[in-house]
Amino acid sequence: MSHSVSINLSSPTGNFWIDNGLVTLYCEFGEGDYDSDYILEKLTEKLVLKTGNTAKYFDQKKKEIVEYEKVNWKYPTNQFIKVPGKSGEKVKIDGETYPTQPPVFDLNLSLSKTPGVCDICGIKAPVTDAKMWMFPFVVDPSKFGNFYSGSKRGFKLCARCALAGLAGYIGWLWKAQGSMLHFFVFHSDLVTMERLHREVFLPLRAEGEKGGNTPRLPFWGSYIHETTLGLLLSLFSYISNPKDVPEDTSKCLASLFKVDSVSFSPPSFITLYAVTGIMGQAFSMKSVKEITKLHSLYRLYEKWANELEQREFHNPSRQIAWIFRQFVSRQGNKEETLWRDKIAWAILDFADPFPFLETFIFDVRAKGKPPKPLVMGTLDMFNVYLREVLGMDEQFQRILAGFGYALGKTAKKHGEMGLLYALRNAKKPEEFYRVLNDAQFRLEMTIPEALLRIEKGERIFGVPWVRVKTLLAIYAMNSYLRENAKQEKDSPTSEKEE
């Protein structure tokens, strides 16, 4: 049963997937009232694609077997839309069975004759049972699966929300890595989302690629946090390097993410939803990540870029990307990016990334062949994070960094790498001070007075002792590895672009 659907930007639902679909409908059709069957037909056409394979059917009018090119639901939409094509009757010719027409891929919007209440927007109108092709986060209660809504009667959707749900598959950003699929939906008021789609995603979206339609990412992987951070760094870089994108794109991103330093008026509130899962016969969702502090992340990015610029890096945006790209390890022929994901998780949540950084430099960089220090600028950038996010006193941080640098350099001179591992492995304050005492006598070093005062709550200079130990271990090992690299002519001290 056909139904009139109104498309506009004045009636958000508050649901990030459906609102994304409403914006997509607006971008595809424009404002106005439309027949639901017409919208359904046009959306279906956009979601069906030729596969490059051929098959045969029996043409009943011509009375002959005809070859046709197969079509199917677009990848990776085919992980969610499982409605098969209709091939008509089947006939047997010379012992072979043929359909009587090429499969027709269409969808049916079965609306109730009597009005009901839409579970998404709350209006009273003819409704239909939500299916995964309309809305990937709910399923029929009788078919328990990854997106089970928890509603005993399932979800009911009005025609507008059902069509918006389908349009969501056109409006999403996605990235595939092997069997892993990540997809991203930015959520704000509909006007802001429409501008983001029109001025950013449409000009930058990659089309026809198996790997995804996101703007070009500096890095990505099998895990959600690293790929999400890669997406955000890509978008942020277009603000600082406007020559790389259309002028309207850079201006739009700046107005949405960059806080005006003059008026201090914050831009529109934007949330990013990142979803990841495994593709197979169907999509198996593993996690949903909600990121709300996008403006704070951009301010942090600006401070990183400013710090690296002061350190005379020619292209700070590219260097930031290289710094994160280094957090991988080689396992046979495979590149494992779990390190990068852990550090990216900490950054996105404004948590402490230094325990992961410590483990990485000791277990990956120091044990590499050849062993390598961190990429140039890494500690400069993370020192900014240390001050801006974790609130460490800048003077104390410099004391730690200076002593750590001297400790690593002297340990290399005396061949005392084991002392650095003992520092890293300290589990109690007493063990930490025992290592410092060893360094004082074995390396003939003077320990800064600021490190020797343990305060209430096992803190040093107001900082938990374990963070002090972790930072000192990172600074020292990086210094050790850099001294080692200077002695190895073929051992690089900074990454070069591939």
- The 10s digit of each residue's pLDDT in 406-447 is 999 999 999 999 999 999 999 999 999 999 999 999 999 999
**Alpha-carbon span 226 to 325, nearest angstrom:** 9
pTM score above 0.75: yes
Nearest to 176 by CA among 224, 129, 137: 224
pLDDT at 497 over 70: no
**Alpha-carbon span 196 to 448, nearest angstrom:** 52
pLDDT at 260: 66
Sequence-ordered list of residues with C-beta below 8 angstroms from that of 56, at least 6 positions apart, any chain: 65, 66, 67, 68, 98
- How many other β-carbons are positioned within 10 Å of the β-carbon of residue 196? 21
pLDDT in tens, 271-322: 999 999 999 878 888 889 999 999 999 999 999 999 999 999 999 999 999 9
